[in-house]
Protein backbone atom coordinates (compact mmCIF):
# COMPACT_ATOMS: atom_id res chain seq x y z
CA UNK A 1 0.00 0.00 0.00
CA UNK A 2 1.32 3.42 -0.90
CA UNK A 3 0.36 6.65 0.90
CA UNK A 4 1.32 10.28 0.67
CA UNK A 5 1.97 10.29 4.42
CA UNK A 6 2.27 7.70 7.18
CA UNK A 7 1.70 9.15 10.64
CA UNK A 8 3.04 7.08 13.52
CA UNK A 9 1.07 7.62 16.74
CA UNK A 10 -2.59 8.58 17.18
CA UNK A 11 -2.28 10.94 20.13
CA UNK A 12 -3.14 14.63 19.92
CA UNK A 13 -0.16 15.36 17.64
CA UNK A 14 -0.68 12.50 15.19
CA UNK A 15 -4.47 12.80 14.92
CA UNK A 16 -4.35 16.54 14.47
CA UNK A 17 -1.78 16.17 11.68
CA UNK A 18 -3.68 13.39 9.96
CA UNK A 19 -6.91 15.39 10.01
CA UNK A 20 -5.25 18.40 8.37
CA UNK A 21 -3.65 16.12 5.75
CA UNK A 22 -6.87 14.22 5.02
CA UNK A 23 -8.72 17.52 4.63
CA UNK A 24 -5.97 18.57 2.19
CA UNK A 25 -6.94 15.44 0.23
CA UNK A 26 -3.68 13.63 0.88
CA UNK A 27 -3.79 9.88 1.39
CA UNK A 28 -2.80 9.29 5.00
CA UNK A 29 -2.72 6.34 7.37
CA UNK A 30 -2.15 6.63 11.12
CA UNK A 31 -0.56 3.62 12.78
CA UNK A 32 -1.05 3.50 16.53
CA UNK A 33 0.08 1.21 19.34
CA UNK A 34 -2.68 2.42 21.68
CA UNK A 35 -0.67 3.76 24.64
CA UNK A 36 -1.32 7.50 24.88
CA UNK A 37 0.67 9.17 27.63
CA UNK A 38 -2.23 10.48 29.74
CA UNK A 39 -4.34 7.29 29.56
CA UNK A 40 -4.41 6.91 33.35
CA UNK A 41 -5.79 10.42 33.95
CA UNK A 42 -9.49 10.81 34.61
CA UNK A 43 -9.92 14.19 32.93
CA UNK A 44 -8.20 16.55 30.53
CA UNK A 45 -7.71 20.18 31.48
CA UNK A 46 -6.21 23.10 29.59
CA UNK A 47 -7.61 22.14 26.19
CA UNK A 48 -9.74 25.02 24.93
CA UNK A 49 -13.44 24.08 24.81
CA UNK A 50 -12.83 20.45 25.96
CA UNK A 51 -12.20 21.10 29.66
CA UNK A 52 -12.89 18.03 31.82
CA UNK A 53 -13.28 15.58 28.93
CA UNK A 54 -12.01 12.01 29.49
CA UNK A 55 -8.69 11.41 27.68
CA UNK A 56 -10.11 8.43 25.75
CA UNK A 57 -13.14 10.50 24.66
CA UNK A 58 -10.92 13.28 23.30
CA UNK A 59 -8.96 10.80 21.20
CA UNK A 60 -12.08 8.90 20.08
CA UNK A 61 -13.58 12.18 18.83
CA UNK A 62 -10.29 13.05 17.10
CA UNK A 63 -10.22 9.63 15.45
CA UNK A 64 -13.74 9.86 14.14
CA UNK A 65 -13.15 13.37 12.76
CA UNK A 66 -10.00 12.18 10.98
CA UNK A 67 -11.73 9.05 9.59
CA UNK A 68 -14.63 11.21 8.42
CA UNK A 69 -12.29 13.05 6.04
CA UNK A 70 -10.97 9.81 4.56
CA UNK A 71 -7.86 9.27 6.68
CA UNK A 72 -7.16 5.68 7.74
CA UNK A 73 -6.24 4.24 11.11
CA UNK A 74 -4.49 1.01 11.93
CA UNK A 75 -3.87 -0.55 15.35
CA UNK A 76 -0.31 -1.76 15.05
CA UNK A 77 3.21 -0.93 16.24
CA UNK A 78 5.77 0.44 13.81
CA UNK A 79 9.08 -1.33 14.22
CA UNK A 80 11.28 0.31 11.59
CA UNK A 81 11.38 2.81 8.74
CA UNK A 82 13.68 2.38 5.79
CA UNK A 83 14.46 4.86 3.05
CA UNK A 84 13.69 3.88 -0.52
CA UNK A 85 13.92 5.60 -3.88
CA UNK A 86 10.60 7.46 -3.68
CA UNK A 87 10.39 7.98 0.06
CA UNK A 88 10.16 5.38 2.81
CA UNK A 89 8.90 1.93 3.66
CA UNK A 90 7.31 1.82 7.09
CA UNK A 91 7.29 -1.62 8.70
CA UNK A 92 4.79 -2.43 11.43
CA UNK A 93 4.39 -5.76 13.21
CA UNK A 94 1.56 -6.90 10.93
CA UNK A 95 1.78 -4.61 7.93
CA UNK A 96 4.07 -2.46 5.76
CA UNK A 97 3.45 0.73 3.77
CA UNK A 98 5.37 2.78 1.32
CA UNK A 99 5.02 6.51 1.68
CA UNK A 100 6.34 9.82 0.39
CA UNK A 101 6.68 11.39 3.87
CA UNK A 102 6.59 10.32 7.50
CA UNK A 103 5.41 12.05 10.66
CA UNK A 104 6.60 10.49 13.92
CA UNK A 105 4.27 11.42 16.79
CA UNK A 106 5.07 8.62 19.21
CA UNK A 107 5.12 10.62 22.46
CA UNK A 108 7.25 9.87 25.51
CA UNK A 109 7.44 7.56 28.54
CA UNK A 110 7.36 8.90 32.11
CA UNK A 111 9.86 7.00 34.28
CA UNK A 112 8.97 7.28 37.95
CA UNK A 113 11.25 6.62 40.92
CA UNK A 114 10.67 3.03 42.09
CA UNK A 115 8.75 3.81 45.28
CA UNK A 116 5.93 1.33 45.97
CA UNK A 117 2.52 2.90 45.40
CA UNK A 118 3.60 5.64 42.95
CA UNK A 119 3.06 3.86 39.62
CA UNK A 120 -0.35 2.49 40.69
CA UNK A 121 -1.63 5.99 41.45
CA UNK A 122 -0.01 7.69 38.44
CA UNK A 123 -2.42 10.11 36.80
CA UNK A 124 -4.94 9.73 39.64
CA UNK A 125 -3.35 11.45 42.63
CA UNK A 126 0.33 11.05 41.71
CA UNK A 127 0.83 13.86 39.22
CA UNK A 128 3.55 15.85 37.50
CA UNK A 129 1.82 18.79 35.80
CA UNK A 130 0.18 21.51 37.93
CA UNK A 131 -1.19 23.19 34.80
CA UNK A 132 -3.12 19.98 34.04
CA UNK A 133 -4.35 19.08 37.54
CA UNK A 134 -3.15 21.67 40.08
CA UNK A 135 -6.47 23.48 40.21
CA UNK A 136 -8.32 20.26 41.03
CA UNK A 137 -6.14 19.69 44.14
CA UNK A 138 -5.96 23.32 45.25
CA UNK A 139 -5.71 23.96 49.00
CA UNK A 140 -5.20 20.25 49.81
CA UNK A 141 -2.17 18.69 51.59
CA UNK A 142 0.40 18.08 48.84
CA UNK A 143 3.75 16.23 48.84
CA UNK A 144 6.44 16.86 46.26
CA UNK A 145 8.71 13.87 45.95
CA UNK A 146 12.28 14.08 44.69
CA UNK A 147 13.94 11.59 42.41
CA UNK A 148 16.15 11.59 39.37
CA UNK A 149 14.90 14.73 37.62
CA UNK A 150 16.48 17.30 39.96
CA UNK A 151 15.91 20.63 38.17
CA UNK A 152 12.33 19.79 37.20
CA UNK A 153 11.44 18.63 40.72
CA UNK A 154 12.95 21.63 42.53
CA UNK A 155 11.17 24.00 40.18
CA UNK A 156 7.98 22.01 40.67
CA UNK A 157 8.19 22.21 44.47
CA UNK A 158 8.43 26.01 44.37
CA UNK A 159 5.67 26.18 41.74
CA UNK A 160 3.09 23.93 43.44
CA UNK A 161 2.95 26.27 46.44
CA UNK A 162 0.88 28.53 44.18
CA UNK A 163 -1.99 26.01 44.40
CA UNK A 164 -1.81 25.06 48.09
CA UNK A 165 -0.47 26.58 51.31
CA UNK A 166 0.31 23.06 52.63
CA UNK A 167 3.25 21.64 50.63
CA UNK A 168 5.94 19.32 52.02
CA UNK A 169 9.02 18.56 49.91
CA UNK A 170 10.66 15.16 50.41
CA UNK A 171 14.05 15.42 48.61
CA UNK A 172 14.29 11.61 48.45
CA UNK A 173 17.92 11.57 47.34
CA UNK A 174 18.14 15.09 45.92
CA UNK A 175 21.02 17.02 47.51
CA UNK A 176 19.82 20.50 48.44
CA UNK A 177 22.13 23.51 48.24
CA UNK A 178 21.76 26.39 50.69
CA UNK A 179 20.16 28.38 47.88
CA UNK A 180 17.61 25.59 47.27
CA UNK A 181 16.71 25.57 50.97
CA UNK A 182 16.37 29.34 51.08
CA UNK A 183 14.10 29.32 48.00
CA UNK A 184 11.81 26.57 49.28
CA UNK A 185 11.63 27.96 52.81
CA UNK A 186 10.90 31.45 51.51
CA UNK A 187 8.00 29.96 49.52
CA UNK A 188 6.59 28.51 52.78
CA UNK A 189 7.41 24.90 51.85
CA UNK A 190 8.35 22.49 54.63
CA UNK A 191 11.31 20.19 53.84
CA UNK A 192 11.39 16.65 55.28
CA UNK A 193 14.66 14.83 54.53
CA UNK A 194 13.72 11.44 55.95
CA UNK A 195 13.85 8.80 53.16
CA UNK A 196 10.48 7.75 51.75
CA UNK A 197 9.73 4.01 51.92
CA UNK A 198 6.32 3.82 50.24
CA UNK A 199 3.07 5.57 49.48
CA UNK A 200 0.06 4.56 51.55
CA UNK A 201 -3.00 4.03 49.38
CA UNK A 202 -6.47 3.20 50.64
CA UNK A 203 -9.71 2.78 48.68
CA UNK A 204 -7.96 3.90 45.50
CA UNK A 205 -6.58 7.15 46.92
CA UNK A 206 -3.28 8.33 48.33
CA UNK A 207 -3.51 8.70 52.11
CA UNK A 208 0.06 9.58 52.98
CA UNK A 209 3.82 9.26 52.60
CA UNK A 210 5.48 6.58 54.75
CA UNK A 211 9.00 7.38 55.97
CA UNK A 212 11.89 5.20 57.11
CA UNK A 213 11.62 6.45 60.73
CA UNK A 214 8.09 5.01 60.88
CA UNK A 215 6.13 8.23 60.46
CA UNK A 216 3.17 8.41 58.10
CA UNK A 217 2.73 11.96 56.81
CA UNK A 218 -0.90 12.42 55.70
CA UNK A 219 -1.10 13.76 52.11
CA UNK A 220 -3.81 13.61 49.45
CA UNK A 221 -1.72 14.33 46.38
CA UNK A 222 1.86 13.68 45.36
CA UNK A 223 3.70 15.58 42.66
CA UNK A 224 6.77 13.94 41.16
CA UNK A 225 9.38 14.81 38.56
CA UNK A 226 9.51 11.82 36.20
CA UNK A 227 12.39 11.27 33.82
CA UNK A 228 10.94 12.02 30.38
CA UNK A 229 12.09 9.39 27.87
CA UNK A 230 11.16 10.19 24.26
CA UNK A 231 9.92 7.29 22.17
CA UNK A 232 12.29 8.34 19.41
CA UNK A 233 13.86 5.01 18.38
CA UNK A 234 12.45 5.29 14.84
CA UNK A 235 13.91 8.78 14.41
CA UNK A 236 17.30 7.67 15.70
CA UNK A 237 17.29 4.62 13.40
CA UNK A 238 16.82 7.00 10.48
CA UNK A 239 19.82 9.05 11.62
CA UNK A 240 17.93 12.20 12.70
CA UNK A 241 20.19 14.72 14.39
CA UNK A 242 20.15 14.67 18.18
CA UNK A 243 20.86 17.88 20.13
CA UNK A 244 22.86 18.65 23.26
CA UNK A 245 20.05 17.57 25.58
CA UNK A 246 20.04 14.16 23.79
CA UNK A 247 16.63 14.86 22.19
CA UNK A 248 16.03 14.76 18.44
CA UNK A 249 16.01 18.31 17.09
CA UNK A 250 13.42 19.71 14.68
CA UNK A 251 12.80 23.04 12.95
CA UNK A 252 9.72 25.14 13.84
CA UNK A 253 7.56 23.00 11.50
CA UNK A 254 8.75 19.74 13.07
CA UNK A 255 11.09 18.84 10.20
CA UNK A 256 13.98 16.66 11.34
CA UNK A 257 17.43 16.65 9.73
CA UNK A 258 16.23 13.84 7.40
CA UNK A 259 14.36 15.06 4.30
CA UNK A 260 10.77 13.83 4.32
CA UNK A 261 10.69 13.03 8.06
CA UNK A 262 8.81 15.20 10.55
CA UNK A 263 8.25 14.77 14.30
CA UNK A 264 5.64 16.44 16.51
CA UNK A 265 4.40 16.39 20.09
CA UNK A 266 6.08 14.92 23.14
CA UNK A 267 8.54 12.81 21.13
CA UNK A 268 10.54 15.99 20.48
CA UNK A 269 9.01 18.39 23.02
CA UNK A 270 8.55 17.09 26.57
CA UNK A 271 6.66 20.10 28.01
CA UNK A 272 4.03 20.11 25.25
CA UNK A 273 0.55 19.74 26.67
CA UNK A 274 -2.26 18.30 24.56
CA UNK A 275 -3.12 21.57 22.89
CA UNK A 276 0.57 22.22 22.10
CA UNK A 277 1.01 18.70 20.71
CA UNK A 278 -2.11 19.14 18.56
CA UNK A 279 -0.79 22.49 17.30
CA UNK A 280 2.61 20.96 16.47
CA UNK A 281 0.85 18.19 14.54
CA UNK A 282 -1.14 20.73 12.57
CA UNK A 283 1.96 22.80 11.73
CA UNK A 284 3.86 19.70 10.63
CA UNK A 285 0.94 18.62 8.44
CA UNK A 286 0.92 21.92 6.57
CA UNK A 287 4.70 21.76 6.07
CA UNK A 288 4.41 18.17 4.83
CA UNK A 289 1.68 19.20 2.38
CA UNK A 290 3.94 21.96 1.00
CA UNK A 291 6.79 19.46 0.66
CA UNK A 292 4.51 17.11 -1.30
CA UNK A 293 3.23 20.00 -3.41
CA UNK A 294 6.80 20.87 -4.45
CA UNK A 295 7.31 17.24 -5.49
CA UNK A 296 3.99 17.25 -7.37
CA UNK A 297 5.04 20.36 -9.30
CA UNK A 298 8.45 18.87 -10.17
CA UNK A 299 6.81 15.67 -11.44
CA UNK A 300 4.25 17.61 -13.47
CA UNK A 301 6.97 19.71 -15.11
CA UNK A 302 9.10 16.62 -15.80
Ligand X SMILES: Cc1cc2nc3c(=O)[nH]c(=O)nc-3n(C[C@H](O)[C@H](O)[C@H](O)COP(=O)(O)OP(=O)(O)OC[C@H]3O[C@@H](n4cnc5c(N)ncnc54)[C@H](O)[C@@H]3O)c2cc1C
Q: Which residues bind ligand X (CB under 6 A)?
A: 8-14, 31-38, 40-41, 44-47, 77-78, 105-107, 110, 123, 129, 132, 231, 265-266, 272-275, 277
Strand partners, 83: 88
Q: How far is the CB of 74 from ligand X (least distance, A)?
A: 9
Cα distances from 282 to residues 12, 57, 103, 253, in angstroms, run: 10, 20, 11, 9
Of 230, 259, 233, the C-alpha closest to 247 is 230
Q: Between the CA of residue 135 and those of 8, 203, 217, 235, what are the distances in Å?
A: 33, 23, 22, 36
Nearest approach, Cβ of residue 93 and ligand X (Å): 9
Distance CA 35, CA 226 (A): 17
The DSSP output letter for 252 is T
109 vs 187, beta carbon nearer ligand X: 109
Closer of 132 and 167 to ligand X (Cβ): 132
Shortest spacing between CB 139 and ligand X, in angstroms: 19
d(CA 63, CA 57): 10
Nearer to ligand X, 146 or 281 (CB): 281
Are the C-beta atoms of residues 160 and 152 closer than 8 Å to each other?
no
Name which of 30 and 184 has its Cβ closer to ligand X.
Answer: 30
Tell me how crowded residue 191 is: count the other CB atoms within 10 A of its CB.
Answer: 15
Cβ at position 268, least distance to ligand X in Å: 9
| Distance in angstroms (rounded) separating the CA atoms of residues 220 and 223 | 10
Residue among 197, 180, 201 nearest 145 (CA): 197
* Nearest distance from C-beta of residue 158 to ligand X, angstroms: 21
The CB-of-276 to ligand X minimum distance in angstroms stands at 7
Amino acid sequence: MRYDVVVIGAGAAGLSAATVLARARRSVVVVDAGEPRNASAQHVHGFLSRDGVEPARLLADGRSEMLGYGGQLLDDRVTSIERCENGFVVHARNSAFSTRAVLVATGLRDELVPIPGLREQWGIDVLHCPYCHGYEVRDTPIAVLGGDNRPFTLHQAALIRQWSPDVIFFPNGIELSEQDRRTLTARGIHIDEEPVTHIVVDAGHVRGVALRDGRLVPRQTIFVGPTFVPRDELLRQLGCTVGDADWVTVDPTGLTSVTGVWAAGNVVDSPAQLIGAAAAGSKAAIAINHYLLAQDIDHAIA
